[in-house]
Amino acid sequence: MWLEIICGLVIYKLFRHFLYDDEFSDVATSDSTALFSVAHRLEKLYGGKSYVGLRIPDADTASRQDIDLVLVTKGQLVVIAVKNLSGILTVTSDGTWLCQAETYPDPLAQVKKQASVLESYLQQRGVTLLEANLSCKVVIPNPNFRTIHAFPSEVITYEEWQQLKPVSTSKLSGWIKGAFSSGKEMQESSHQKINFILGTAPMWDRVELKSSKIVLGEFLEFKGKQEDTLALRHIKRSKVDHISIQKTSMFGL
C-alpha cells in the first residue's frame, strides 16, 4: 500500500513539473513573491537589472511613490506595476478595476504617474531620458486571472505573460519591441548612472523566509526574548545592509 502511495506522489510531482512551468509556479502565492518572480523572469528574458520595491520621493506631494518594479536595459527603462489578481475582473467607466470585492484605482494611470515622478527624480540627479527610452507596463502574472475586457497594449495579461520569449541579439519580434523594448539604446554613461541612482534609491525593507517567500515592508523594531534582541539593539540601519537570523534546533541544525 505504501509503495502505491509513494509511486502516486512521484507521478503527481512529475506531472505537475511538466504541466506547469516553474517560471509561473510562484505567481499564485503572495503579492511580494509574485513581484520578485516577475522581476527574475524579466531579467532572464531581457537582461538588464530589476529594482524591486522602490520608494521614490515625490516633490509635488512631499511623499513617496511606491513603485513595484523598474527594469533597466540598454534600450529602455520600464516602470512596472505587478497586479497579482486572482478571479474575474471588471473595469468601470473611470478605469477602476474591480476584482474579488477589491477596488483598484486605474493601475495604468497610477504607473504613468510613478514613471513621471521617477523621471523627475532622475533629472534632479543629472539624467535626462528620451521619451523613447521610458515606458510603463502593468503585468498580471496570476494564472487564475479572468476578464472579458480588452486592455491597452501597456497591460500584459497572463496569456501574454506566458508568451514572452527571450530577446535575440539578431532578431526582435514586433510584439517584443512593443512589450518591453524600444530598440533604441541609451548612452552607456546614462545607463550606468541610472543603475547607480536606482541602486542607492530608497526602497522597502525585505524579509526572506526559509520557504523562499519574500515579504516587503518597513522595518520598525526587533521583538522577542531579551537575550535574543539585546545584541540587535546596537544595529544601525545606516551601517548594516543585510542581516541573517536563524533559529537553531535541538540538534544544532
- The count of structural domains within the chain is 1
Identity (one letter) of the amino acid at 135? S
- pLDDT score of 113: 96
Q: Within a domain: residue 10?
A: no
Which of these ranges, 39-53, 110-124, 216-230, has the smallest mean pLDDT?
A: 216-230
The sheet that has 134-139: what strands, in order across it? 49-58, 63-72, 77-82, 134-139, 155-156
| Percentage of the chain modeled with pLDDT above 90 | 48
CATH code: domain of residue 199: 3.40.1350
CA-angle at 65, arms to 104 and 72, nearest 5°: 100
Q: Give the residue, 34 or 28, on which the prediction is more confident.
A: 34
| Higher per-residue confidence, 162 vs 227 | 162
C-alpha closest to that of 129 among 172, 75, 196: 75
Q: Which residue has the higher pLDDT, 18 or 205?
A: 205
User: What are phi and psi for residue 68, nearest 5 degrees?
Assistant: -60, -55
On average, the pLDDT of the chain sits at 79
pLDDT tops 70 at residue 175: no
Side chain identity at 149, as an amino acid letter?
H
What are phi and psi for residue 184, nearest 5 degrees? Answer: -110, 120
**Does position 252 have pLDDT exceeding 80, yes or no?**
no
Share of the chain above pLDDT 70, in %: 73
Q: What is the pLDDT of residue 87?
A: 92
Residue 117, strand partner residues: none
Distance, CA of 8 to CA of 14 (rounded, Å)? 10
Q: Where are the alpha helices (DSSP H) in the chain?
A: 2-19, 31-46, 107-124, 158-163, 174-180, 188-199, 226-229
Would 134 be classed as within a structural domain?
yes
Is 226 or 76 the better-scoring residue by pLDDT?
76
Q: What is the pLDDT of residue 7?
A: 47
| pLDDT value for 17 | 42
Range of the domain at 28: 22-205
Which SS3 state, helix, strand or coil, does residue 206 take? strand
The reply to whether 6 falls in a domain is no
**How many helices (H) and strands (E) would you count in the chain?**
7, 11
Q: pTM of the full predicted structure?
A: 0.75
Q: Beta 145-147 vs 77-82: how paired, if at all?
A: unpaired
The answer on pLDDT for 236 being more than 80 is no
The answer to whether residue 78 sits within a structural domain is yes
- pLDDT at residue 176 greater than cutoff 80: no
Question: Sorting pLDDT into bands at 50, 70 and 90, what band is 21?
Answer: very low
